[in-house]
Structure 1
Amino acid sequence: MSEKQLTLPVLGMTCANCVAAVERNSKKVDGVTTANVNYASEKVTITFDPSLVKPQQLTANVIARIERAGYQVPTAVLDLSLLGMTCTNCASTIERALNKVDGVLEATVNYANEKAAIKYATGAVTRADLVAAVRKAGYDVVETAVSDHPEDAEAAARAAEVRHQWTRLIVGAAFALPLFLISMSRDFGLLGEWADAIWVNWLFLALATPVQFYVGWDYYVGGYKSLRNGSANMDVLVA
């Protein structure tokens, strides 16, 4: 496996000896092949072998070493409001995706309130990187403009999601109810000579198709994305 790089900001360096100390301590971490400090930008670039150590564990170990040497790597916590989760397995899938992002120290997803809390090394990863990881896993994130109130943006996104579900429910009922009534009528012999008519089967197809591929489309998409990420959720079961 090819080597990867991780860049971390370092606070507290005041001279060349500080640079040497940060580099020396960073190289002591298992899996690290090189460590180079740019004193002007106050950053250390770590080259490591991902086959020997996971990026998340390496980030935590490097930070611990640097802080033990008397310097500081700033960290922050970012909360993301999530869309598209249907079961607890979805939450686990998102957690795994976020924890694989270089620079992330810990990511937890709360399925009940549909939020992710990510602790990360500032400068090593951006919000865009984290959002991209969530979307690659098959889910979405509520986007908020800087001038917006996050609560308002989240409420609007949740309301749009509810409207979408109501639309699917109405469309599903509009097509599934006639399909059920006609099919049951045929089974109980209430259609008379029409029971064996070819047009009845074509009518069934016309009524079932929107239910299967419009109302049920999200299940197919969710199931595919779940399998693509090496897991199986409720979408896979339903589909």
Structure 2
Amino acid sequence: MADLRTQVVYRSKRLNTGHLIEADQAFGQRNALGPHALMLFFVSDAPTEPYGYKLHTAYRLWPQAPDSDVLPRLLAEMTDVAADNIASIGRKWSPLGPEGSMVNGGDMTLPGGRYVGVGVSTLDSDQGRWYQVARTLRDAAAAGRYMSAFNLKGQCYALLTDGTALHVDRDPQARLGEDGVRCNKTLDSNRITYHNPYEHLTEQGDDETRDIWRQLTALHHTLTAHLLAGRWA
């Protein structure tokens, strides 16, 4: 559904911005955050909403550590965690917990919520790796040049249960009309057919980008097979 995709884009951008602010404020401190975050998307019935549902997002942030710096490796570890929880806890396991929770923020209590997708927020961008860019901000401040974290980019990747693949390039300096969204399906419910250069989005990009998609796909398939097979919903 185009409306759900649009809401996921908005929610991803908002979470990425919040992730950036928290990471910037904690940079260099004992509670410093890693550059990547996991996002889980659920919907619940909401008859008063225009499309009859409400989108919920739970997320996981990691402390700064070598184990949380490499996004494909982090996603592979989350897939292993999910598989282990499914094997040990069984059909009642939910990534929202309480037992074996995969998240530590957002909407973590959703009775009746239905899983619709998974995503990641990352502070790495074409401006550079997060740690490099964050140090640049502080070097500029020390030299008397004003730079704000609000000028920094961020990225999000998401996969939804209807086959949607989304990449969001959050750029505060983007020109008006450039939303930075790439999607293999339309975000316009009134647009039925058109040429989509991102039809094979998960196969595009450099080696690291394709590896991110591969690992995110593995996690998505693990969660989908468990959560949408009548085991937890």
User: What TM-score, normalized to structure 2?
Assistant: 0.22
Structure with max Cα Rg: 1
User: What TM-score, normalized to structure 1?
Assistant: 0.21
Higher relative helix content? 1
Which one scores higher on RCO, CA 8 angstroms, separation ≥ 6? 2
